[in-house]
A and B are shown apart, each in its own frame.
Chain A
Amino acid sequence: MRRSRILLVLALLVPIILAAAPLTNARLGGEGSGIRQYDCGSSCHVTPSTAVVTMSAPSLTVEKGGSVTVTVSVSGGNSGPILGVMLVASLSPDPTSLPSAAGWTITADPSGSGTNNYYEISSYAGLVSLQWSLTAPLTDGNYPLFARVHHGGGGEAQFANNEAGLSFLVGTGGISGAPVVDIISPSDWEYVEDVITVSASIQSSTPIAYALLQIDGVVVDNKSQEPFQWDVNTTEYANGELSLNVTAYDTNGSFGHKEITVNVNNPEAEKAVLNWVWMAVGGVAIILGIVAVALFMRKKPKEEGVGEPKLSSTERELLAPLLNTKLPGYALFALSMAGMVYFIYTWYSLIISGHVATGMRDYGVPLSGTPWGIYIVSFIWLVGIAHGGIIISASIRVMKFEKYRPVARMAEVLTCVMLLMAGLTILMDLGKPDRIDNVLRYYWSQIGTSPFAWDLTVILLYTTLSVTYLYLLMRDDLAYLKDRLPKFKWIYSILLFGYREDEKKKIDQISWWIALTLLVLVALLSGGVIPWIFSLIAAQAGWFGAIQGPYYLIAALSSGIASVIVIASIMRTVFKWEKYIKLEVFTGLGRVLGILVLIYLWFVKHEQLTMQFAAPTVEHAISNALLTGEYAVFFWPIVASLLFAFAYLEMAGTVFKKYSILGTTITATIILVAFWVKRFLIVIPSLRYPRLELYPVGTYTPTLVEYSMVSGTIVIAAFLFLLFMKVFPIMDVKEPVTSPAEATAGDRDQMESDAQRTPNP
């Protein structure tokens, strides 16, 4: 019984041991070699992980039973010790991986005398090349061969870093009489798009049974008759490489094939530009539109209920823009809405086409253009107006110029709107506006040296401060009007979060400091950062130099004051605010404007004199272009109109007895236009005349797109201004506390100023 059990166990063990025998020695998957040294441990064999194994054969196509020579090269690894190399037909380390199991016959191994698949060399010198001769299997098909390097020490795994091996095609193609396939079109590596015709020519001594077309390894179609042509719609495949394979079978079962690769290159479907810029622009437009429509569709407020506070007649006059809208108002709104739609369309088309739609081009050769154009011109102009606006408002508050108080809020709104437009203009100018966030992303690496980054910093700071300033000063009015204007109660309530009755004093203190900060910033921004964009660039003649700071500051103040005059004058006429915006506002602002304009001319003189007298030749050329050349037709009228403006503004009311507000307004408008053109004369001529005088003088003609977009920003500014007027009081309305006794002593100064600023009906 026991014996039979032992026999049974042995009967089971023997085949297992026999089967496992090849796994227990160094020849995993290999047949023996004469020079075996299995017992040396890991130190005697090459450490294979660093060895490089490569294989080669003269041809990968063989006839059935044909002979093949495979060369295996091993390099690297530590030289000196023993190296075992084996040739296998599969990667699994078992006897089925022997080439003979796959149908190969080894006729000679590297020793020259044996037919083993395993060969060991006793001293490996870091580079060895071994050759096996084999006879191919006798059936058609693909037969791979791999070379493996063996580590010593018995049961360790075989190693190779040549996983690909060599794949032999046995039979097909190598046999006479098998079909010969050629793909006539398209050619190999051709760029193709849309629908292509794949046509193959098949030559065969025996009739063709059928031909298959495979695309990327997938059989698409088969045909049994000429013509062997297929229409392939490449748009169904991703752009990039695509393999086309035609295989033909003859009636004997022999086959031949041809494979080529084409590059699919279909134009990308025009993607809608739906990045965050468009979402933001669209979102803002929709919100503004809805607000505007909602405001206009709203029914007129019914008579206020009994007991609700009512507006006095003065307040009704001051709130005229909020209370009623007449036909011209609707027309303006419609016009500016249409203008905005056109602006957005133009911008969209600009982004689709690229900046080629503008008149800007690279300076130098071969395009001879100017890389910046009227977008930058307009940007400086807008920032200038914004500065002028806020400096008026801030001075009124800091220095208590009470008579100008009625125009203070207009100036603040103007500043906020113009700053937004200046930012928009820069976005318009960028080739990749959707990447503007990069400026913040890489802020810290560039803030040290890039005036553009300084500019962005100060503009953001400035916008924040201005909006805060405007908002803080309006809270008092909003609280007062919340109950008196029921149709806006919801907006005002949201804006008045955290409102307390006694906050006025604190708010005044905060806004006084903000105003002071703004005054300092104006000197820094308009007298600093904006001109630094130009004055630090040594490459452009006419820009470099220290004069730009004060030069720009004066221009900014002038155009700011001029635009406040224009807006105040329009408001005064349209809403009949003659008794609130007094004449002295215009005379005062006009005087200052006149003097500023004169200072500007004085700077122009300094600049031109320097450029004319012994200046580098390019500077000289630019100055000549201004004074006598092609820009003289702009330059001299600017000088003349500024001189005229100075003379008129200083003489009005003194030499001329009758002061004309219309005259002042027209002069201010002339100044605004003149300063826009003057900015053009600063930016463009310098870019047209290259410092490296081997380059030709460039040209620049703004296109319709540029003009449209620049005027578009003005239209948007007008729209925002109108919208503000329709929702918020553009004039201070709140009447002062009637009894000074109710106020604390510290408030008294404020009271007095309030009393002064609010006109008595």
Chain B
Amino acid sequence: MVRYGMAIDMSRCMGCRACVEACKVENNTPMGVFWMWLFRFEEGTYPNSKLRYMARPCQHCDNAPCVKVCPVGARFKRDDGLVLTDADRCIGCRYCEVSCPFGVNYFNWKEPSKNQYFDWGSKGLPYRNPDHDIKYEGRLVSGGNHFAGVMGKCTFCVHRLAKGLKPACVANCPVGVFTFGDLDDPNSEVSKAIAEKDHFRLEEELGTNPKVFYLGAPLDPKELRKPFDYYKEELTL
């Protein structure tokens, strides 16, 4: 069984937010909902300061607190490591959101009527990716954030993984910040990326075992100038 994980190379990121945009388009998330977010922060103090960027998808923790506290099992972890929300089962208590140290949950405070860039008006969603209507492993987990009163969050693009494609953020990054794949396979892209560089995980001390690794070591400038083959959308495991 694969165990999906992601590595995010902060030294490569230039803060273009293509991942944020790709996620919103792919998952049709409404306004105010950012399953992928990009932090922009300053490191150090003037004059020795540097602008850094950090992408934040759901961390898909191995020991996910949100899965533990869910009273109905709507938030669950699949065998392949994805932490998903069953929109058909969620009762909207928001306990998962409260228990998540990473703030990746987005509740549907109302029927979605607007996305970030386009007002849908009273008609509702003008276009919905039909892949989101498919039940994966028998549960309505893809898409989400389209039904008032239930929780939604990053799914690692479960609908794309089903087709053998990488998550939208990974596939759309122009500078190859993301690597994605099977953490249990030492030869997978992501395992190699993690093995090659210094890395950390968010709030590791809370024991949630996030499956998103941040690679922080600075790159050799020559390495950075190499063209990056970003067109490879298919997932290789």
| A interface residues with partner B (beta carbon < 8 Å) | 191, 193, 265, 267, 353-356, 360-367, 371-372, 426, 429-433, 435-436, 438-439, 441-442, 445-446, 449-453, 456, 537-540, 687, 690-692, 694-695
Distance in angstroms from A439 CB to nearest chain B CB is: 5
Q: How far is the CA of A367 from the CA of B31 in the complex (A)?
A: 10
Evaluate whether A453 and B71 lie within 8 angstroms (CB atoms) in the complex, with A265-B124, A365-B103, A367-B32 already known: yes
Q: Check A365 against B37 for contact (C-beta < 8 Å).
A: yes
B91 within 8 A of A: yes
- Contacts A356-B109, A538-B101, A692-B102 given; 8 further ones with Cβ under 8 A? A355-B149, A362-B106, A431-B108, A435-B91, A439-B71, A442-B89, A540-B98, A691-B101
Known: A354-B108, A367-B32, A438-B72. A372 touches B94 (CB 8 A): yes
Q: Which residues of B contact A450 (CB under 8 A)?
A: 68-71, 95
The 9 A-B residue pairs with the shortest CB-CB distance, nearest first, are A431-B92, A364-B103, A431-B149, A354-B110, A452-B71, A539-B101, A356-B110, A356-B109, A449-B68
Q: Which secondary structure characterizes the binding site on chain B?
A: loop
The distance from the CB of A747 to the nearest CB of chain B, in whole angstroms, is 47
| Beta-carbon contact of A365 and B34 below 8 Å | yes
By the criterion CB–CB under 8 Å, are B123 and A452 in contact?
no
Complex CA gap A692/B92 in Å reads 23
Q: How does the 8 Å CB contact mask read for B88-116 relative to A, with 1 for contact and 0 for none?
A: 01111111011111111111111100000
Choice from B89, B95, B99, B103 contacting A692 with Cβ under 8 Å: B103
Interface pair B72/A439, CB less than 8 Å apart = yes
Instruction: Name the distance in Å between A571's Cβ and chain B's nearest Cβ.
Output: 37
For B, the interface residue count at a CB cutoff of 8 angstroms equals 50
Q: Are B105 and A435 in contact (CB under 8 A)?
A: no
Asked if B89 and A435 sit within 8 Å, CB to CB, the answer is: yes
- The CA of A402 and the CA of B102, in the complex, are separated in Å by 54
Which residues on the B side are within 8 Å of A356 (C-beta)?
Answer: 109-110
- Other-chain residue from B74, B109, B151 in contact with A354 (beta carbon distance below 8 A): B109
B184 at the interface (CB under 8 A from A): no
The answer to whether A193 and B149 touch across the interface, beta carbons within 8 angstroms, is no
Question: Is B89 in contact with A694, judged by CB distance below 8 angstroms?
Answer: no
**Residues B93 and A430 in contact, CB atoms below 8 Å apart:** yes
Most buried by B among A193, A356, A446: A446
A265 and B123 form a contact (CB under 8 A): yes
- Give the distance to chain A from B207, nearest Cβ to Cβ, in Å: 8
Residues of B with C-beta under 8 A to A442:
71-73, 89
Q: B150–A431 contact, CB under 8 A?
A: yes
Find chain B residues with CB under 8 A from A431 CB: 90-94, 107-108, 148-151
Report Cα–Cα, A394/B161, bound state, in Å: 58
> Which residues on the A side are within 8 Å of B72 (C-beta)?
435, 438-439, 441-442, 446
Instruction: Name the distance in Å between B180's Cβ and chain A's nearest Cβ.
Output: 22
Q: Is the CB of A362 within 8 A of B110?
A: no
- Provide the B114-158 mask, 1 if CB < 8 A to any CB of A, else 0: 000000001110110000000000000000000011110000000
Does A432 lie within 8 Å of B69, measured CB to CB? no
A540 to B97, CA, bound (A): 10
29 A-B pairs with C-beta separation under 8 A: A193-B123, A354-B108, A355-B149, A361-B109, A363-B97, A366-B37, A371-B97, A429-B93, A431-B90, A431-B107, A431-B148, A431-B151, A432-B92, A432-B150, A436-B91, A439-B71, A439-B91, A449-B68, A450-B70, A452-B69, A452-B71, A453-B71, A537-B98, A538-B207, A539-B99, A539-B101, A691-B203, A694-B54, A695-B103
- Which residue of A354, A540, A694 is within 8 Å of B41 (Cβ)? A694
User: How many CB-defined contacts (below 8 Å) exist between A and B?
Assistant: 146
Q: Does B165 count as interface, using CB distance less than 8 angstroms? A: no
Of the candidates B37, B69, B71, B94, the one whose C-beta lies within 8 Å of that of A371 is: B94
Residues of chain B lying within 8 A (CB to CB) of residue A367: 32
Asked whether, in the complex, the Cβ of A355 is within 8 Å of the Cβ of B110, the reply is yes
> In the complex, which residues of chain B have a beta carbon less than 8 angstroms from the beta carbon of A452?
69-71, 93, 95
- Chain A positions within 8 Å of B99 at CB level: 537, 539-540
Closest to A361 in B: B109
Instruction: Check: B200 CB closer than 8 A to any chain A CB.
Output: no
Contact between chains at B149 and A371 (CB < 8 Å): no
Contact of B92 among A265, A430, A451, A539 (CB under 8 A): A430
- A-side interface mostly: loop
Within 8 Å CB of B101, what residues of A?
538-539, 691-692
Contact of A694 among B39, B65, B93 (CB under 8 A): B39
Which residues of A lie under 8 Å from residue B25 when comparing CB positions?
none
**Residue B32 contacts which of A366, A371, A445 (CB distance < 8 angstroms)?**
A366
Residue B202, interface by CB 8 Å: yes
Q: Which residues of A contact B106 (CB under 8 A)?
A: 362
Residues of B within 8 A of A (CB): 32, 34, 37, 39, 41, 54, 65, 67-74, 89-95, 97-111, 122-124, 126-127, 148-151, 202-203, 206-207
B96 to chain A, nearest CB (A): 9
Q: Are A538 and B206 in contact (CB under 8 A)?
A: yes
Q: Are A538 and B65 in contact (CB under 8 A)?
A: yes
Residues of B close to A193: CB separation below 8 A: 123
Contacts of B105 in A (CB 8 A): 362, 371
Bound: A607/B39 CA distance, A: 33
Neighbour of A432 across the interface among B37, B65, B97, B149, CB < 8 A: B149
A441 to B89, CA, bound (A): 10
A residues less than 8 Å from B92 (CB atoms):
355, 430-433, 435
**Distance between A452 CB and nearest chain B CB, rounded to angstroms:** 4
- Report whether B123 and A432 are in contact in the complex, using a CB–CB cutoff of 8 Å: no
Question: Nearest-CB distance from B209 to chain A (Å)?
Answer: 13
Are B69 and A537 closer than 8 Å at their CB atoms? yes
Closest B residue by C-beta to A369: B109
Cβ contact within 8 Å between A191 and B123: yes
The answer to whether A539 and B100 have CB atoms under 8 Å apart is yes
CA distance A333 to B14 in the complex (A): 66
How many whole Å from B32's CB to the nearest CB in chain A? Answer: 5
A458 to chain B, nearest CB (A): 13
- Known contacts A267-B124, A355-B109, A371-B98; A537 and B65 CB within 8 A of each other: yes
A531 smallest CB distance to B (angstroms) = 14
What separation, in Å, do the CA atoms of A430 and B203 have in the docked complex?
A: 29
Which residues of B are found within 8 Å of A365, using beta-carbon distances? 34, 37, 103
Give the chain A neighbours of B69 by CB distance below 8 A.
449-452, 537
Query: Is there an interface contact between A267 and B123, defined as CB atoms closer than 8 Å?
Result: yes
Pairwise interchain contact B103-A446, C-beta atoms closer than 8 A: no
The complex places the Cα of A300 from the Cα of B105 at a distance, in Å, of 60
For residue B7, give the distance in angstroms from its CB to the closest CB of chain A: 19
The reply to whether B107 and A371 contact each other, CB–CB distance below 8 Å, is yes
Which residue of chain A has its CB nearest to the CB of B149? A431
Residues of A within 8 A of B89 (CB): 435, 438, 442
Closest chain A residue to B109, Cβ basis:
A356
A362 contacts which chain B residues (CB < 8 A)? Answer: 32, 97, 103, 105-107, 109
A454 to chain B, nearest CB (A): 9
How far does the Cβ of B91 sit from chain A's closest Cβ, in whole Å? 4
Q: How far is the CA of A453 from the CA of B73 in the complex (A)?
A: 11
Interchain CB contact under 8 A, B91 and A354: no
In the bound complex, what is the Cα–Cα distance between A366 and B67 (angstroms)?
Answer: 24
Report which of A433, A456, A690 forms a contact with B71, defined as CB distance below 8 A.
Answer: A456
Contacting pair A191 B126 (CB below 8 A): yes
Q: How far is the CA of A362 from the CA of B151 in the complex (A)?
A: 10
Contact call B103/A363, Cβ cutoff below 8 A: yes
Chain A residues with Cβ under 8 A from B149's Cβ? 354-355, 430-432
B34 — which chain A residues lie within 8 A by C-beta?
365-366
CB neighbours of A191 from chain B (8 A): 123, 126-127
Q: Within the assembled complex, what's the spacing in Å between the Cα atoms of A453 and B68?
A: 11
**Which residues from chain A contact B68 at a C-beta distance below 8 Å?**
449-450
Contact B91 A432 (CB under 8 A): yes
Instruction: Point out which of B69, B111, B203 has the most chain A C-beta atoms below 10 A from its C-beta.
Output: B69
Q: Give min CB distance, B178 to chain A, whole Å.
A: 19
- List of B residues within 8 angstroms of A355 by Cβ: 92, 107, 109-110, 149
Interface centre among B34, B39, B149, B150 (most CB of A within 10 A): B149
Decide: B98 and A687 in contact? CB cutoff 8 A.
Answer: yes
User: Which of chain B's residues have a CB closer than 8 A to the CB of A360?
Assistant: 109
User: Distance (Å) between the CB of B34 and the closest chain A CB?
Assistant: 6
